[in-house]
Structure 1
Amino acid sequence: MKTNLDISKHILIPLHTKLNEKEKEILLQKYNASTGNLPRISEKDKSIENLKVKEGDIIKITRKSQTAGTAYFYRVVVND
């Protein structure tokens, strides 16, 4: 019997959220960057499968850090 496991709820998977268009614009302006400058994440990645993403969306990854408290990482969704 196959069970559906929501990997995004696993304790070792950091929080993944999709930025809206306004947040995306603010992020790119803040770092004077384009989506081509960001690291990539596949739209098939299991950690974002419930976010209904499309190519070009930006994912914010929130991780707990011993030194920084909370650390944020950004990835652009690619279709591969």
Structure 2
Amino acid sequence: MILYSEVFMMVTKKHLSLAPDHIYVPKHEVMTKNEAEEVLEKYHCKATELPLIFGNDPAIVGLGIKPGDMIKITRKSATAGESFYYRYVVEV
């Protein structure tokens, strides 16, 4: 007999593994230390002042990230073309 909770977990894991490949999920990439420093200098802020993203976020799970890394998110826009967003990775 399969319990509802077991089925829910199987479905949830399946969706989590597919999320980064979905058409509406923007491109996420780990920034190098040099890239991160340039962005922080450009915007005159510290990494901890950036918006946060959890390390277990489905969009970045497969990137090999660790808390303290910075993520660059590239979003496509009909009006702006491409726009970039930066997130600081934290533990859950």
Q: TM-score, normalised by structure 1?
A: 0.90
Q: Secondary structure of the residue that 1:46 maps to in structure 2?
A: coil
User: Residue 66 of structure 1 aligns to which amino acid in structure 2?
Assistant: A
Deviation >4 Å, runs of 4+: none
Instruction: Name the residue aligned to 2:5.
Output: none
Matched residues, percent identical? 41
1:12 maps to 2:27: no
Q: Which runs of 5+ in 1 are unaligned?
A: none
Q: Which runs of 5+ in 2 are unaligned?
A: 1-9
Number of aligned positions between the proteins: 80
> When you count strand as a share of all residues, which structure comes out higher?
1
> When you count helix as a share of all residues, which structure comes out higher?
2
Aligned Cα root-mean-square deviation (Å): 1.6
Q: Once the 2 structures are TM-superposed, how far is the Cα of residue 7 of structure 1 from its aligned partner? A: 1.9
